[in-house]
C-alpha cells in the first residue's frame, strides 16, 4: 500500500496538520508514512477538554466496555481497519509490513508481539480483577459498592492517561489498553517511527464500538511531549535512570525505566546449570533483547565461565537475517546511530581487563553489523570478574547480558534493583529472603524465563491504582 497520512486524533476527530513529516522506509528514501505533527499549545488546549472524553466513556457500563475491548482484540488481530485519511484500509499483513518498514523489527517478532497484544484484550476481565484485587466492574459504574464484604468507593485520579510511547517496542501498548475498560480516555504520543500500533489499536477499539472521543493521538516534537508530561493528570513514559529520578516525587508520572532483570541460580541448583541454559538464552534474547524484562545479568555462585560459553554458543546462532525470514529474531535499529552508540558503550566497558566478550569466539563477524541498509548488534555475553565492572549491571537495547559469580549470601546486596528476578533454587530460607526484598518487582522462583509475565499481576506499577483512588464514604439514612 502507498504511504498513508497518519493524522492527529483530537478526541477521535481527525486533524491534518500543516506540519507534516515523512518517515521513510528504513535504509531507503521511499516514504512509509506522512505524519501530522501537533504543536504543544494545541495539546494544552485539548487537555482542558478531556473531561468530555471521559464523560463519553462513562456512558458505557463496565461490562459493555469489557465486551468492546474483547471485540477490539479480535479486530486488531484479524480485521481490516482504517488507516490514513483517504478511507484506506489496513489488513493485519499491511500492519506487519508498515511496522517492519519503519522500526527495523523482523516480521516474526512483530507477529509475536501482535499475538501477545491481541491476547491481552481478551483477558481484560482477568486483568482488571488482578489489578483491583477482585473488584466488580459495577463499582466503577456506580462509583461505590462492596469488595470482600467491605464498602468501597473509587474515584478517577484523572480525565486522561497520557502515554509517551517509544519507537522500538510495540508491546508496550499493552500498558494502556485496559485504561479504556476502566473508563479513562487515553492521550498517546507515538514514537516517530512507530505510529502504527497505537493507531491500529485505536481503530480496533472504535470499530468495536468504543466512543472515538476516548482516543487522542498526538505525534509531536519534544516541546509537545513536555506539555503532555507537565499537564496531563496521569502520565506513563519510558526512560533511563535519570528520567526515573526526575519524576520520582511526582505521583502523576509513572516512568518505566531500565529493568536490570536478572537470572540467578542458587547454590543448591548450580550443579544442574546445564538444564537452565534454554531459559537463560530465552531470557536474554526474547523480543530481540529490547524489553526491560529481558535478563541483563546472570548471577551464579560458580561455573561462570562454563555458563557464559554455553549461553554464548546458543546466542551466536541468532544472526541478522532478512526481515521477512521466519527465523529472524534480531531487530535492526530504526535510528542507526543508536547501534553505534550502544556498541561504543560496550566496547568502553570491555577495555577493562575484568570484562571479556565471550560471544566474540562464536559469532560470525563483529558485534556491529550492517545488513539491508540497517544497523544490527549481534548478541553479546560478557563474563565479568565482579559487580565492580562497568558492564556488570548494564542494560542495552539488544540481546546482552553479563555473567558474574557471586556467593549466594551476597546476591541481594550486590544486585540492587531488579524489575524481574528469576531465582532457580529450592532453598526455602533464601526464597523467603528474596520475597522479603523490596527491590525485586517480580520474582520467579524456579526455571522461568524472566520475559514471561502475567498481565493480571502488574510487574511495574498498577494501572488501577494509578488511575483510581479509594475514598471513604457514607450514605445518611435519608439519602
Partner 1 sequence: MTADEAKAQLDERVREMMAWHFSEETGCPFWLDWMAEAGWDPREEVKSYEDIVKFPHFQDEWLRDEKNERFVPNAYKGRPFNVFETGGTTGLPKQRVGWDDYKHDYEQFSEQLSDEFFPKGGNWIMVGPTGPRRLRLAVEHLANVRGGSCYHVDLDPRWVKRLIKRKELDQVERYQAHVMAQAVEIIKHRDISCIFTTPRLLASIGERISISDHGIKGCFCGGTSMTPEYVRFLQEEVLENKAQFVPTYGNTLMGLAVSIPSELPQKDYSVTYYAPQPRAVLRIVDADKTEVTKDYGEYGRVELTTLTHEFFMPRFLERDEAIRREPHEKYPWDGVGDVRPFGALTKKVIEGVY
- Interface with partner 1 by CB under 8 A: which residues? 17-19, 37, 39, 41-42, 44-45, 48, 226, 230
The least distance separating partner 1 from the CB of residue 38, rounded to whole angstroms, comes to 8
The least distance separating partner 1 from the CB of residue 220, rounded to whole angstroms, comes to 11
In this complex, which beta carbon is closest to partner 1, that of residue 45 or of residue 341?
45
In this complex, which beta carbon is closest to partner 1, that of residue 18 or of residue 428?
18
Task: Give the per-residue SS3 of the chain.
Answer: CCCCEECEEECCEEECCCCEEEEECCCCCCEEEEEECECHHHHHHHHCCHHHHHHHHHCCCHHHHHHHHHHHHHHHHHCCEEECCCCEEECHHHHHHHHHHHHCCCHHHHHHHHHHHHHHHHCHHHHHHHHHCCCCHHHHHHCEEEECCEEEEEEECCCCEEEECCCCCHHHHHHCCHHHHCCCCEEEECECCECHHHHHHHHHHHHCCCCHHHEEECCECHHHHHHHHHHCCEEEEECCHHHHHHCCCCCCEEEECCCCEEEEECCCCHHHHHHHHHHHHHHHHHHHHCCCCCEEEEEECCCHHHHHHHHHHHHCCCCCCCCCCCCCCCCCECCHHHHHHHHHHHHHHHCCCCEEECHHHCCCCCCEEEECCEEEECCEEEEECCCCCCCCCCCCCCCEEEEEECCHHHHHHHHCCEEEEEEECCCHHHHHHHHCCCCEEEEEECCCCCCCCCCCCCCCCCHHHHHEEEECCCCCCCC
The least distance separating partner 1 from the CB of residue 111, rounded to whole angstroms, comes to 36
In this complex, which beta carbon is closest to partner 1, that of residue 245 or of residue 471?
245
In this complex, which beta carbon is closest to partner 1, that of residue 45 or of residue 473?
45
The least distance separating partner 1 from the CB of residue 42, rounded to whole angstroms, comes to 5
The least distance separating partner 1 from the CB of residue 200, rounded to whole angstroms, comes to 25
In this complex, which beta carbon is closest to partner 1, that of residue 227 or of residue 391?
227
The least distance separating partner 1 from the CB of residue 163, rounded to whole angstroms, comes to 20
The least distance separating partner 1 from the CB of residue 19, rounded to whole angstroms, comes to 4
In this complex, which beta carbon is closest to partner 1, that of residue 17 or of residue 283?
17
In this complex, which beta carbon is closest to partner 1, that of residue 15 or of residue 368?
15
Amino acid at each position: 500500500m502507498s504511504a498513508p497520512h497518519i493524522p492527529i486524533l483530537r478526541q477521535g476527530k481527525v486533524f491534518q496538520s500543516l506540519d507534516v513529516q515523512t518517515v521513510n522506509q528504513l535504509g531507503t528514501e521511499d516514504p512509509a508514512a506522512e505524519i501530522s505533527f501537533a504543536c504543544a499549545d494545541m495539546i494544552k488546549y485539548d487537555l482542558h477538554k478531556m473531561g468530555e472524553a471521559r464523560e463519553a466513556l462513562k456512558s458505557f457500563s463496565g461490562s459493555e466496555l469489557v465486551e468492546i475491548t474483547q471485540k477490539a482484540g479480535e479486530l486488531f488481530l484479524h480485521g481490516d481497519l482504517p488507516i490514513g485519511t483517504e478511507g484506506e484500509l489496513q489488513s493485519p499483513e499491511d500492519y506487519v509490513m508498515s511496522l517492519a518498514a519503519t522500526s527495523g523489527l523482523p516480521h516474526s517478532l512483530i507477529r509475536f508481539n501482535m499475538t501477545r497484544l491481541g491476547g491481552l484484550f481478551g483477558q481484560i476481565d482477568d486483568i482488571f480483577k488482578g489489578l483491583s484485587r477482585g473488584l466488580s466492574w459495577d463499582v466503577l459504574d456506580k462509583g461505590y459498592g462492596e469488595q470482600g464484604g467491605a464498602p468501597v468507593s473509587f474515584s478517577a485520579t484523572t480525565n486522561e492517561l497520557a502515554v509517551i510511547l517509544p519507537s522500538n517496542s510495540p508491546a508496550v501498548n499493552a500498558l494502556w489498553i485496559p485504561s479504556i475498560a476502566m473508563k479513562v480516555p487515553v492521550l498517546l504520543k507515538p514514537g516517530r517511527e512507530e505510529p502504527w500500533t497505537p493507531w491500529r489499536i485505536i481503530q480496533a477499539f472504535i470499530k468495536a464500538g468504543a466512543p472515538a472521543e476516548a482516543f487522542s493521538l498526538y505525534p509531536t516534537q519534544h516541546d509537545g511531549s513536555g506539555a503532555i508530561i507537565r499537564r496531563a493528570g496521569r502520565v506513563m513514559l519510558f526512560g533511563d535512570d535519570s528520567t526515573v529520578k526526575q519524576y520520582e516525587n511526582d505521583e502523576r508520572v509513572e516512568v518505566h525505566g531500565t529493568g536490570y532483570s536478572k537470572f540467578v541460580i542458587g547454590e543448591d541448583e548450580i550443579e544442574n546449570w546445564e538444564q537452565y541454559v534454554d531459559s537463560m538464552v530465552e531470557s536474554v534474547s526474547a523480543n530481540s533483547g529490547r524489553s526491560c524484562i529481558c535478563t541483563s545479568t546472570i548471577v551464579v555462585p560458580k561455573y561462570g565461565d562454563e555458563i557464559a560459553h554455553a549461553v554464548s554458543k546458543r546466542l551466536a546462532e541468532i544472526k541478522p537475517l532478512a526481515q521477512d525470514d521466519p527465523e529472524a529474531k534480531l531487530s535492526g535499529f530504526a535510528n542507526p546511530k543508536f547501534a553505534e552508540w550502544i556498541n561504543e558503550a560496550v566496547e568502553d566497558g570491555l577495555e577493562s581487563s575484568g570484562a571479556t566478550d565471550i560471544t566474540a569466539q562464536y559469532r560470525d563477524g563483529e558485534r556491529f553489523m550492517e545488513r539491508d541498509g540497517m544497523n544490527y548488534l549481534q548478541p553479546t555475553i560478557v563474563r565479568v570478574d565482579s559487580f565492580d565492572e562497568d558492564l556488570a549491571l548494564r542494560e542495552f537495547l539488544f540481546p546482552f547480558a553479563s555473567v558474574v559469580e557471586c556467593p549466594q549470601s551476597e546476591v541481594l546486596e550486590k544486585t540492587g534493583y531488579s524489575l524481574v528476578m528469576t531465582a532457580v533454587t529450592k532453598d526455602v530460607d533464601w526464597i523467603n529472603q528474596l520475597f522479603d526484598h523490596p527491590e525485586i518487582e517480580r520474582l520467579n522462583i524456579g526455571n522461568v524465563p524472566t520475559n514471561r509475565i502475567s498481565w493480571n499481576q502488574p510487574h511495574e506499577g498498577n494501572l488501577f491504582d494509578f488511575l483510581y483512588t479509594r475514598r471513604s464514604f457514607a450514605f445518611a439514612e435519608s439519602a
